[in-house]
Structure 1
Amino acid sequence: MKIHKRYISAFVALMLSVPVFAQVPAPAPKQSKPVLLTGATLHVGNGTVVENAAVAFDNGKITYAGPKSGANTNGYEVVDVTGQHIYPGLIQPNAQLGLNEIESVRATLDMREVGQMNPNVRSVIAYNTDSDIIPTIRANGVLMSQVTPVGGTISGSSSVVQLDAWNWEDAVVKADEGIHLNWPAMLIQTGSTPDPRLANFKQQREQALTDLAQLFRDASVYKAAKNDKENLKLSSMAGLFDGSKKLYIHANYGKEIIESVNFVKQFGVKDIVIVGGGDAVAVIDFLKANNLPVIYSGVHALPSRAEEDVDMPYKTPFLLQKAGVPFALDYDLSIHGIRNLPFIAGTAVAHGLDKEQALAAITLNTAKILGIDKEVGSVEVGKNATLVVSSGDLLDMRTNNVTHAFIQGRKIDLNNKHRYLYQKFDNKYNAETKPAEAKPATKAMTN
């Protein structure tokens, strides 16, 4: 059948009239030539600040980080960022990023598995690199995340990913680095009238602890034995007993933190991290005695008790730092809000924490807890060139303005749906406020 040219022209015109919507930018190509950033203030991530600095990187690795005067410019593409600030790429721990897209659409939710004991569940294989949320987070400097499952008593294993990849295999920085345990909550009678539900809850909790103890015993025995057939649930826990995997215990109440740590230690678990840690200050001595790092989740929260200072959540990072407890910060209110990660660090600065210590709490400290500090977390020679450049203070929402971002030396496209929508409506309302152009007078119609 022959199609007339005018129909083809009409179809093309129609397609051109359809608005182009913002899409997730394609991953950046591998770094092809050496790059040198010059003139900025360098915040290394370990507490060191270098004025009028330079950072060079080639093949995805940092080759120089120090004073501008000591940098070699031969063969480098020089990018002048004078007056700006260079930071390590920020790292968000304990997130369902890429697993949870639209709460009201079940098909976009893949962050939990059925059942209570799922140590063999691997969250990373469900990680969606095409999530619309990821570009909005990168625009504020967050370039890496720990993809973490939720639900049940043992949710499964988490993995660390970088946020610019075609698929989850390309995104992985460290796969299956830890297992997440949601400690069964304690409840106590608070009123004078007995609550009939409390006895049932306590019974369920005791059963959960019994099942948990049995699983840890079985896994410990399984690791020590020679097994002809693999049991995925038990083999996935083997790393907990030799220190090759971390156990992330999600607990907030002080008694729960103490109870959970003592519980798992009796089975020989080597490397433990507390996630949440709402009562971390109340059990500081216990944390220090057991060398327990904390991923603190509650900076932007209300106090858990009426008698606590109203700013207790805000100053908890400072109190942990002062006591010498290793900690990182986690934005856990929503995945869409992960872009606010630098600002919770800024809140901690406003309540006593040194600014460079606050930066470390979302970069180097996090990298150390996740076991990736040899590769990322600070701007140092030999590490991956995963860094951001901001024209203002990255931790201040008034001045945070990321102008450049690099992941493993690859320059990241910072466009996202938020920027697209801002530009769309900025153009609309600016156009409406412009004075209308004068139109030629027309002759009135007469009969």
Structure 2
Amino acid sequence: MQQRLLLAAALFVSTTAAWAQVPVPAAKQTKATVLTGATLHVGNGQVVEGATVAFNEGKITYAGPSAGFNAGGTAYEAVNVSGKHIYPGMILPNSQLGLTEIESVRATLDQQEVGMFNPNVRAVVAYNTDSDITPTLRSNGVLMSQVTPMGGMISGTSSVVQLDAWNWEDALVKADGGVHLRWPAMVQQTTDNSPQVQQRRQARQTGLSELEALLAEAKVYKNQKNDRRNLKLSSLGGLFDGSKKLFIHANYGKEIVESIRFAQKAGVKEMVIVGGADALVVADFLKENNIPVVYSGVHALPARAEDDVYLPYKMPGLLQKAGILFCLDYDASLHGTRNLPFIAGTAVAFGLPKEQALSSVTLNAAKILGVDQQVGSVEVGKDASIVVSEGDILDMRTNKISHAFIQGRKLNLTDKQQYLYEKFNGKYNSANKAEVGK
């Protein structure tokens, strides 16, 4: 009996220690809050020195020079952030956050379904709000993510979530706003007519023919009254009235043009290119058709041997000069997505103006994901999803988040890495002190 009690006590202690690594979602804002004395980076290119930002019931009530702030009879709790910087919470597009945890453990992977055409798959219902990765993003100022499925030709639908919630329903910012199409790679025209090459060409053509038929059927289905709902067809209906966007994953210039023309012919209203390694090559076409880009390759190698070795670093600045609406994502390991602000920082070092780089991970991302009326910039009426950094948030040397709020709720910025650092830092410091005392 005593052994059982000891075992239960040990389990309780270990469980408590494990839970200490996972911050509990913050409680709803109950006190009006005002941040004073900081430099405000609005997210739309504007910078306000000596600014004040006030928010109440989860919404921003004032954002501007301190001299212009009037409490209007509301009792605000003042937080002095003098010398620091206020930013909108950053947004991570095209991510499997909450769908993938440990790549080598199959039970933690839920980012794709079998089959080629799964438009009815809703990635958000598999979103895990208890992921150990999520707090590491918040510690660097990333407060929202587009949960995106993978696999097949039509992977499913994505949703935008905020990163402080008990469950996926509470996390939702915008549900099922995008359908994701993985455009099949072209087969290069060569003298090689081997059976393998012919098979690849035939498979590609078959896939595109099936996709064309599916979109045509979905368009007809949308305009009919049906007693029994077809989930695959109904999930595509929003593409034809603009209520959903088609996110086309493509990199090669010819594939980008081909996929956009294909979608336009099918009647799709809103499109976004994801990846876009060759976006600059077809910049005029993208601008003419008003197609934004989620650019994925800032820290990638150039696509061609003859390209400038720094071209991926320069690409955001070049897209800005070309007049293309774009945002940045982190198309590498999921555990590295906390480095999203530093991707934008790299673009600054290679020609993109600093405030435009901030927009590329805040307001531009919000516009492309269709949530810019709610988040993406520090403006009156929007959600109080903001962060306070001791220095430049895009520089890994000065990105030190002191405060973060989602919809006015103050976040616990502890994460697993910080917990382990403090644990073992204390251990070895104690050991060193004991050694010195001998």
Alignment of 1:46-61 (within 5 A): 46-61=44-59
Change (3 A) 1:329 1:13: closer
Change (3 A) 1:8 1:199: closer
Residue 230 of structure 1: how far off its partner (Å): 1.1
Equivalent-residue separation in structure 1 for 2:410 and 2:27 (angstroms): 8
Equivalent-residue separation in structure 1 for 2:273 and 2:4 (angstroms): 65
Q: Show CA shifts across 1:81-104 (max 9, x none).
A: 111100000000010000001111
Alignment of 1:67-82 (within 5 A): 67-72=65-70, 75-82=75-82
**AA matched with 2:23:** P
Preserved contact between residue 189 and residue 195 of structure 1 (Cα < 8 Å): no
Alignment of 1:33-44 (within 5 A): 33-44=31-42
Runs of 4+ in 1 over 3 A off after TM superposition: 6-19, 192-196, 435-439
Equivalent-residue separation in structure 2 for 1:145 and 1:321 (angstroms): 23
**AA matched with 1:320:** L
Residue 423 of structure 1: how far off its partner (Å): 1.0
Residue 226 of structure 1: how far off its partner (Å): 2.1
Change (3 A) 1:180 1:11: closer
Alignment of 1:14-413 (within 5 A): 20-21=17-18, 22-72=20-70, 75-188=75-188, 196-413=195-412
**AA matched with 1:174:** K
The root-mean-square deviation of aligned C-alpha atoms, in Å, is 1.9
**AA matched with 2:332:** L
Identify unmatched segments of 5+ residues in structure 2.
none
Change (3 A) 1:310 1:234: same
SS of the residue 2:146 aligns to: strand
Change (3 A) 1:7 1:159: closer
Residue 263 of structure 1: how far off its partner (Å): 0.6
SS of the residue 2:61 aligns to: strand
**AA matched with 1:210:** S
Q: Which structure would you say has the larger Rg?
A: 1
Question: TM-score, with normalisation over the residues of structure 2?
Answer: 0.95
Question: TM-score, with normalisation over the residues of structure 1?
Answer: 0.93
Equivalent-residue separation in structure 2 for 1:217 and 1:25 (angstroms): 47
Residue 16 of structure 1: how far off its partner (Å): 5.2
Preserved contact between residue 47 and residue 357 of structure 1 (Cα < 8 Å): yes
Residue 392 of structure 1: how far off its partner (Å): 1.0
Equivalent-residue separation in structure 1 for 2:113 and 2:6 (angstroms): 51
Change (3 A) 1:402 1:17: closer
Equivalent-residue separation in structure 2 for 1:327 and 1:15 (angstroms): 49
Change (3 A) 1:195 1:390: farther
How many equivalent pairs are there?
435
Residue 308 of structure 1: how far off its partner (Å): 0.7
**AA matched with 1:42:** L
**AA matched with 1:436:** E
